Amino acid sequence: MSADTPTLDTVRAWLWAARRIAVLTGAGVSAESGVPTFRDAQTGLWARFRPEELATEAAFRRDPGRVWAWYAERRARLQGVQPNAGHHALAAFEQRHPGRMTLITQNVDGLHQGAGSRGVLCLHGDLFENRWLDVPRDCCRIDDACVGHPPYCDRCGNLVRPGVVWFGEPLPYAALDAAQRAARACEVMLVVGTSGQVQPAGGLARLARQAGARVVVVNPEPTELDAVAHAILAGPAARLVPELLDF
């Protein structure tokens, strides 16, 4: 490490002094809870499955049963999975410092919420929510959808799909807008456990830097966003995030 590389203590001092902090998380924050990431060369979901066959609207329309089953399995695997020390540290910080931190996540696993974080900006939706594939008509009532794989409206045949954002789809406008405002307003942005490869989420770090924030990457591996960072803390989120936010 070179002499002028900011240390964990330096980053902690930045955080301590910051009135506004934004945190952008990705799959790595849940890795220590046992949830696979997407791009790990061995265990990543996209190393084992083809996203264009499972995570696009076209894939769902082509083979709704297969896509529904894949998401149902991901939901089942998350049953009983617990938030780890990284999720808990973020939730506890938010409770100790109301209004100071905005938590933005690309994760759909609900673990931030499970740890007690409120107002999480979920850029990629929620794995445990359902919505209609096509614009719902009067007959489409999600709670009364007929049981099926996927469930469907027995009047018009509309299909229920998971409430996640698929490749090629726009992000939920309100969440993205709030995330961009938080990125522009923060003094420090922590980028935790994301490869930074997916846009527009990864672009939030650039936006924060352009607006004058210090950007800190927390990740055991190099990422696309290292070039944007003022500090890179190489290590696992469940150890480093509690150390950074313990005040």
Closest CA to 150 of 45, 110, 142: 142
Residue nearest to ligand OAD (CB): 28
List beta partners, residue 152: 146, 159
Q: Give the number of other CB atoms < 10 A from CB of residue 65.
A: 11
Indicate which single residue of 15, 67, 179, 237 sits in contact with ligand OAD (rule: CB under 6 A).
Answer: 237
DSSP letter for each residue of 195-241:
---STTTTHHHHHHHHTT-EEEEE-SS--GGGGG-SEEE-S-HHHHH
| C-beta closer to ligand OAD: residue 106 or 158 | 106
Indicate which single residue of 193, 204, 205, 213 sits in contact with ligand OAD (rule: CB under 6 A).
Answer: 193
Q: Which stretch binds ligand OAD (CB under 6 A): 31-39, 73-81, 138-146, 151-159?
A: 31-39
| C-beta closer to ligand OAD: residue 113 or 195 | 195
Which of 88, 124, 149, 230 does the annotation list as catalytic?
124
The residues in 38-97 that bind ligand OAD, with binding defined as CB under 6 A, are 38-39, 44, 55
Q: Do the Cβ atoms of 24 and 204 come closer than 8 Å?
A: yes
Q: Is 28 in the site for ligand OAD (CB under 6 A)?
A: yes
| C-beta closer to ligand OAD: residue 16 or 49 | 49
| C-beta closer to ligand OAD: residue 110 or 236 | 236
Residue 124 annotated among the catalytic residues of the structure: yes
DSSP 8-state secondary structure symbol assigned to residue 156: T
Extended beta strands in the chain, E state: 21-25, 101-105, 121-122, 125-132, 160-164, 188-192, 214-218, 231-233
Q: Which amino acid is at 68?
A: W
Summarize as ranges the residues that interact with ligand OAD (CB under 6 A).
26-28, 31-32, 37-39, 44, 55, 106, 124, 165, 193-195, 197-198, 219-221, 223, 236-237
Q: Give the residue numbers marked as catalytic.
A: 124
